Amino acid sequence: MKGLRALLAAGTLALAACAPANASGATFAAPAAERVAEEASGLRTAYFAGGCFWGVEAVFSHVKGVKSAVSGYHGGNAATANYAQVSAGFSQHAETVKIVYDPKLVRYDQLLRLFFSVIADPTLKDRQGPDVGAHYRAALIPVSAEQRAVATAYLAQMKASGVWQRPIVTGIEPARRFYPAEEYHQDFALKNPQHGYIRRWDAPKVAALKAMYPALYSERFQPG
């Protein structure tokens, strides 16, 4: 779907990351992971592709233990790591968010549970919510052997859980270079709380995080 045009900071007009709302969203009580992540102390990095990066970033920016969340592109090359080409479908990139987190406060397996509870529908292929195209695919991108083992086990657990009525199609992608998105995409929900897309699609995700996982919710927005 083509991006709508949104009025951005400094009075500039640019393509918005996400399409107009025209479909229903949903949240699920994803099961707690049976395979608990065992991570050493110190900050860790994780990547999640889950549709429009505005919402992925907004949710993770309200998770306790997440120190930063940055919107960007993953899966393609440097030449196509820009919104014009990604949104037009001329790249292999997916809109992706890089998060830095403290495993003492929130583990990788907990991040997976949050991701599939309030951010991404794992039964949708090459789309999320109202946004359609391979660049809106949901994918897990582990950057360590431990993350890969936990992600693999959790996807298998999800498939056997019966929580989702349709087949789980979210996959694991090999980690490649991450390219931060244009500045106007960063902290978009924080900067544009009254934007129609944010109010319809992303604010409810943050509200669901607070309602479903209050122990992991932080009122403070962690900027990228």
Identify whether 52 is a catalytic site residue.
Answer: yes
Of the residues 16, 37, 52, 138, which is catalytic? 52
Q: Are 71 and 181 in contact (CB under 8 A)?
A: yes
Q: Are 203 and 49 in contact (CB under 8 A)?
A: no
Q: How would you label 108-128 residue by residue, b for 16+ Cβ within 10 Å and e otherwise?
A: bbbbbbbbbbbbbbbebeebb
What are the helix and strand counts (H, E) for the chain? 7, 10
**CA separation for the pair 100, 43 (Å, rounded):** 6
Beta bridge partners of 97: 48, 71
Indicate which residues carry an active-site annotation: 52
